[in-house]
Structure 1
């Protein structure tokens, strides 16, 4: 462990030479697989060095998106170029980016005041991202227009999993899955029909530069509160998509965590978000449909057949019940 820490610190120092920086108080604050974070001080300023886990072409897309959002008035960390003027540093086949350090605290989206501020920050983030055009060599990340195909793909994977699990009925997890999957597939079919007969296609019939960027992992840990306000961090996964995709994930997580199906609470979340921008009836319609799809059940079981650690049949049953209750209540919304 001590040798690993020493090696990380040495790597950080070597990479920072590419910036002509000799750091003070260098610390490794996160090392999870390839993704690594270092914190240090330079000339009285606290900075953050990050090792990315993406390809160079993928990093070109997300890093330049962050620079665009910042230059457009967005509340995201500043990115510092290296001594050659490049925003991404390549060292020994690995990629690194240098950011400003955000002095503040994690916002807790379970706290109503933090939730309101965070949703206002998210809507501003979406607005400030519109107009982004990535570099020519970047690998573009876009999910515009892909929802129906994604729904079909998830449904088909769950049907295939049903076939596999049926072959081993003595396995409690597999038996529990087979017992719960049929109503989930019914929800999939109804939701696919709804999205195919919704305004979704017309909402996606825009140029990419007219679309916002979705964060895809917005929540506690990725939005900080400082004296400058709420700052959105960790933009590695940004993608072109409808802005309601980020909202669906936030709303769905809260529904799941608190077993809360209140339409009023959903509308309160939308009210906070709409402080900076307005959602059209068409956007709310596709948000409702995306919330109805059994994303959380799929997320639980998608590796069931490959996962060496069994998933309890009680958990499978509870998640299935959550999806069915959610679907039933959301049908009455809007």
Structure 2
């Protein structure tokens, strides 16, 4: 961190009723940064956030709303004038309390239960939220079909482009050998979204305004010393079906094991169902979202859109093969899961 930025941080801290002993930079990623501040109140965490007042106002409102409905998340420290953030030189800073504990582990049943029940609590607790200024920083609810359709068309476009290339590398060859199968999976997923129960759930959620975290995963969670699950990083909240968070955590857990695992999926969904029960039709929407080749698409897009330019081609190829292996293993598991839905849904009734 250069001295200019260090001076900015010191100025930000003067807006708080704190005695500061030390400031340590924990991470710096362009528009985002995180510091540990040692104060007379103990350790606090300061974040530079890459958005404006309207977005911050919504985030702070959501944090309070979720906390009031049973979600555990670090409290926001107010400035001397009672504000939830500081604006300095066109940049925005928020200070949070620190929660001590351990990162949950997917292969620990106790932690997994806390994560899935915590996610279900988060979704249930967010219902009924309204924006304090009428502005929702993200509203993915009504974009499902168009977003998935766009991704499917991109896969087709990359296929056409790479077929024209004379000197194909290993990544191209692996991609081309698998893309047709995954385009078919994408189409199957989109067909399921034409069912009336999908539109009905979307309409209900337009009223209830359920929030998704978008990265409800081990890296943004802490099991506190009090045994409770604390949720961090409310930067990317979006109004959407709970399925978005559910699909993402299932993908994270399954790709870690490199293949889909039916007992693990059943266990995770039963944990979730105990707190925020879904219907059989809603689980079919989850299955459709899982059916879409998100992992394959994500890895291909990283390479062809050069989103991980620090990676070697070999690393991209290894990751692509891993994602393909995980994706190909899911169809049998999904069919078995849907055949045993009564077992899951009964748990929450």
- Give your verdict on TM over 0.5: yes
Distance 1:56 1:158 in 2: 37
Gaps of 5+ in 2: 339-349
In the TM superposition, residue 7 of structure 1 has moved relative to its aligned partner by: 4.6
CA–CA distance in structure 2, aligned partners of residues 177 and 89 of structure 1:
47
Distance 1:198 1:262 in 2: 30
1:234 Cα deviation from its structure 2 partner: 0.8
Separation (CA, whole Å) in 2 of partners of 1:223 and 1:5: 30
Give the match for residue 221 of structure 1: 219
Q: What is the deviation of 1:322?
A: 2.9
**1:126-205 aligned within 5 A:** 126-136=123-133, 138-172=135-169, 173-197=171-195, 199-205=197-203
Deviation, 1:45, is 3.2
> Does 2:99 match 1:95?
no
Once the two structures are overlaid, the 10-residue window that deviates more, 60-69 or 302-311, is: 302-311
Please name the residue that 2:57 is paired with.
Answer: 60
Check if 1:78 corresponds to 2:75. yes
Shift of 1:226: 1.2
Q: Match of 1:22?
A: 19
How large is the RMSD of aligned CA atoms in angstroms?
2.1
Contact (CA 8 Å) 1:13, 1:23: kept in 2 or not? no
Runs of 4+ in structure 1 off by over 6 angstroms are: none
User: Does 274-283 or 324-333 show the bigger shift?
Assistant: 324-333
Query: Residue in 2 aligned with 1:325?
Result: 329
Distance 1:315 1:90 in 2: 40
3-state SS of paired residue (2:72): coil
- Name the TM-score, length of structure 2 as normaliser: 0.87
Contact 2:46 2:95 in 1 (8 A): yes
C-alpha spacing 1:119/1:153, structure 2 compared with 1 (3 Å): same
Find the residue that maps to 2:28 and give its secondary structure. strand
Task: Determine which structure has the larger helix proportion and give its number.
Answer: 2
Does the 8 Å CA contact 2:188/2:291 hold for their aligned counterparts? no
TM-score, structure 1 as length reference: 0.91
Deviates more, 1:150-159 or 1:107-116: 107-116
In structure 2, the residue matched to 1:291 is: 290
Contact 2:123 2:276 in 1 (8 A): no
* Distance (whole Å) between structure 2 residues aligned to residue 314 and residue 247 of structure 1: 26
- C-alpha distance in structure 2 between counterparts of 1:179 and 1:159, whole Å: 13
The gaps in structure 1 that reach 5 residues or longer are none
Pairwise CA distance, 1:97: 0.7
Q: Specify the SS of the correspondent of 1:60.
A: helix
Counterpart-to-counterpart distance in 1, 2:38 and 2:326: 47
Number of residue equivalences: 331
Check conservation: 2:15, 2:80, Cα contact below 8 A.
yes
Structure 1 residues 223 and 208, CA gap change in structure 2 (3 angstroms): same
Quote the offset at 1:79 in angstroms: 1.0
CA contact (8 A) 2:262 2:336 kept: no
Q: Deviation of residue 313 (structure 1)?
A: 4.4
